[in-house]
């Protein structure tokens, strides 16, 4: 069933008591709605946007950036049915075992679950994203470095699931329905209030509520409810909005390689060099350079090493050597100073806009510097080619501002933890101090790995669905 709150024609709907109300119909919200609906639970799925992109909905994402240079908040994500899967690149890879074993870096890195508790959902998540569960090459014989594999999904959640959601008897999809308030008793949310762009209002009653609003909005709404109701509904001493993470993504330089097999390949470091250097993970990307870029690169080399450069120039002419752009996206350390907070400005529904303070710290710089050093050792020791690093990396200058900056992957802010000092939700994604409020999406990630977040978002959503089903039987 679908209800468009812009056209309020179902007055009686407010009398229904749903088993679960999910707010946000992106990858996480739709996955959970489908799973719970299939099990027979009555689900309300609340989407602030429409079935298509609208400016009035997208405007709700406007906010402020007060940290490192970053994209405007209303362009890094999409606010309509299907969420940001409407424009994602489809790159899929999930967490690795080492991502759950970063305790040696401090308590902030400690997951309350282990790798196996997530990996058991990989097959079903891959089916949803219509990709193969095939992410690893055979053991790499390269010292310290391993090639890594991604799968590419063409799934847009709106296209794939819109008909199913509309035709489902157990799922009620509300569009143009913006969460504006909550109501209930101590520690228990009983009702949410939603509002349309045409100023229609509706209350939705449910036994359990799941916020699946995205990697910035989950923090924003919890902060808003904290501001409005103090600790009435949940523990407000937790680090809501803090430990926000991205995947820093920058061009590191350029290189030439002796074999085109290395082009378009992705690499990361094996576990040992990461542990030995006390750094996080990094994915190196080798992208083919154009002929003019390659020629310029060789010209630069000739200036530095004339004889060697001339030798390489001849090999380039014979297509024995190719030029590449040397890029990387890496894991950011969880730090409380990198955060989502509220501004004094409100959106059209009176809710404070988000203020994103994305800050990269010294460990983030160390991760890319040390990782590049290890990668370079492989390049030279195995005579793969030569790399020319950009000035900012060699001389520890500011990060370039006219680069990719980040993967537009919003993680943390409502992380899971056994300890409310470092997390906002417990291992079952229930908000600390609440009896029935859950969080879904990448905001619960304790650490970010270097992997794209959508596949693990779907895995965690399947896990949360299973937990909610177990409580409802």
Residue 152 in contact with another protein, rule: CB under 8 A: no
φ and ψ of 280, to 5 deg: -105, -175
Residue 133 engages another protein in binding (rule: CB under 8 A): no
Confirm or reject binding of residue 310 to another protein (CB under 8 A): no
H or E, element range at 275: helix 271-277
Pair of tokens at residue 214: 């995205």
Give first-to-last CA distance, the chain, whole Å.
Answer: 24
Q: Which is nearer to another protein, 263 or 359 (CB)?
A: 263
Site string for another protein, 242-261 (x = CB under 8 A): -----------x----xx-x
Among 11, 139, 292, 304, binds another protein (CB under 8 A): 304
Strands 63-65 and 91-92, sheet pairing: unpaired
Distance CA 218, CA 88 (A): 20
Task: Give least dist CB 250 to another protein, A.
Answer: 14
What mask of x and - would describe binding to another protein in positions 360 to 379, judged by CB under 8 A? ----------------x--x
Residue 139 interacts with another protein (CB under 8 A)? no
What is the spatial distance between Cα 319 and Cα 122, in angstroms, rounded to a whole number? 41
Q: What share of the chain is helix, strand, coil (3-state, %, to 5)?
A: 35, 25, 40
Asked if residue 193 binds another protein (CB under 8 A), the reply is no
Judged by CB under 8 A, the residue of 9, 55, 138, 398 near another protein is 138
Structure tokens at 370: 């040390």
Give me the half-sphere count of Cα atoms (radius 13 Å) on the Cβ side of residue 144: 18
- Between strands 437-439 and 201-211, the pairing is parallel
Q: Which is nearer to another protein, 123 or 136 (CB)?
A: 136
DSSP letter at 356 equals E
> What letter would DSSP give residue 413?
S
Is 265 one of the binding residues for another protein (CB under 8 A)?
A: yes
With contacts defined by CB under 8 A, name the span among 82-90, 178-186, 303-311, 421-429 that binds another protein.
303-311
Q: Is 78 or 316 the residue whose CB approaches another protein more closely?
A: 316
Contacts with another protein by CB under 8 A lie at 137-138, 141, 147, 149, 253, 258-259, 261, 263-265, 300-301, 303-305, 307-308, 311-312, 315, 320-321, 376, 379-381, 383, 385-391, 394
């Amino acid at each position: 069933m679908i209800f468009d709150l812009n056209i309020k024609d179902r007055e009686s709907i407010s009398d229904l008591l749903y088993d679960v109300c999910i707010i946000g119909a992106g990858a996480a919200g739709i996955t959970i709605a489908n799973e719970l609906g299939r099990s027979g639970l009555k689900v309300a799925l609340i989407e602030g946007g429409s079935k298509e992109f609208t400016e009035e909905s997208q405007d709700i994402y406007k906010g402020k950036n007060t940290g490192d240079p970053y994209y405007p908040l209303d362009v890094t994500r999409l606010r309509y049915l299907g969420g940001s899967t409407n424009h994602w690149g489809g790159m899929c890879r999930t967490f690795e075992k080492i991502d759950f074993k970063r305790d040696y870096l401090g308590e902030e890195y400690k997951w309350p679950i282990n790798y196996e508790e997530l990996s058991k959902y990989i097959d079903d998540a891959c089916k949803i994203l219509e990709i193969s569960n095939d992410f690893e090459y055979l053991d790499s014989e390269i010292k310290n470095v391993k090639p890594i594999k991604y799968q590419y999904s063409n799934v847009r959640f709106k296209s794939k699931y819109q008909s199913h959601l509309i035709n489902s008897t157990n799922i009620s999809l509300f569009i143009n329905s913006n969460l504006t308030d909550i109501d209930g008793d101590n520690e228990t949310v009983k009702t949410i209030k939603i509002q349309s762009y045409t100023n229609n209002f509706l209350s939705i009653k449910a036994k359990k509520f799941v916020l699946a609003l995205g990697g910035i909005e989950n923090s924003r709404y919890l902060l808003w409810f904290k501001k409005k109701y103090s600790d009435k509904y949940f523990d407000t001493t937790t680090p809501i909005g803090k430990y926000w993470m991205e995947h820093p993504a920058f061009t590191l330089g350029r290189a030439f390689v002796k074999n085109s097999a290395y082009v378009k390949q992705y690499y990361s470091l094996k576990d040992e060099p990461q542990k030995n250097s006390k750094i996080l993970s990094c994915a190196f990307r080798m992208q083919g350079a154009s002929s003019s870029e390659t020629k310029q690169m060789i010209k630069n080399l000739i200036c530095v090493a004339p004889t060697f450069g001339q030798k390489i120039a001849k090999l380039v002419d014979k297509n024995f050597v190719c030029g590449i752009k040397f890029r990387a996206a890496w894991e950011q350390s969880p730090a409380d100073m990198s955060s989502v907070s509220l501004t004094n400005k409100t959106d059209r529904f009176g809710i404070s806009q988000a203020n994103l303070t994305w800050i990269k710290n010294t460990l983030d710089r160390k991760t890319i510097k040390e990782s590049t050093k290890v990668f370079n050792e492989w390049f030279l020791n195995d005579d793969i080619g030569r790399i020319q690093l950009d000035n900012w990396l060699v001389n520890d200058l500011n990060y370039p501002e006219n680069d990719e900056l980040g993967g537009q992957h919003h993680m943390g802010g409502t992380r899971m933890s056994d300890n409310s000092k470092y997390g906002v939700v417990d291992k079952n994604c229930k908000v600390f101090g609440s009896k029935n409020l859950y969080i879904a999406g990448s905001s619960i990630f304790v650490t970010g790995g270097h992997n794209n977040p959508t596949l693990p978002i779907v895995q965690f959503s399947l896990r949360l669905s299973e937990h909610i089903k177990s409580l409802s039987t």
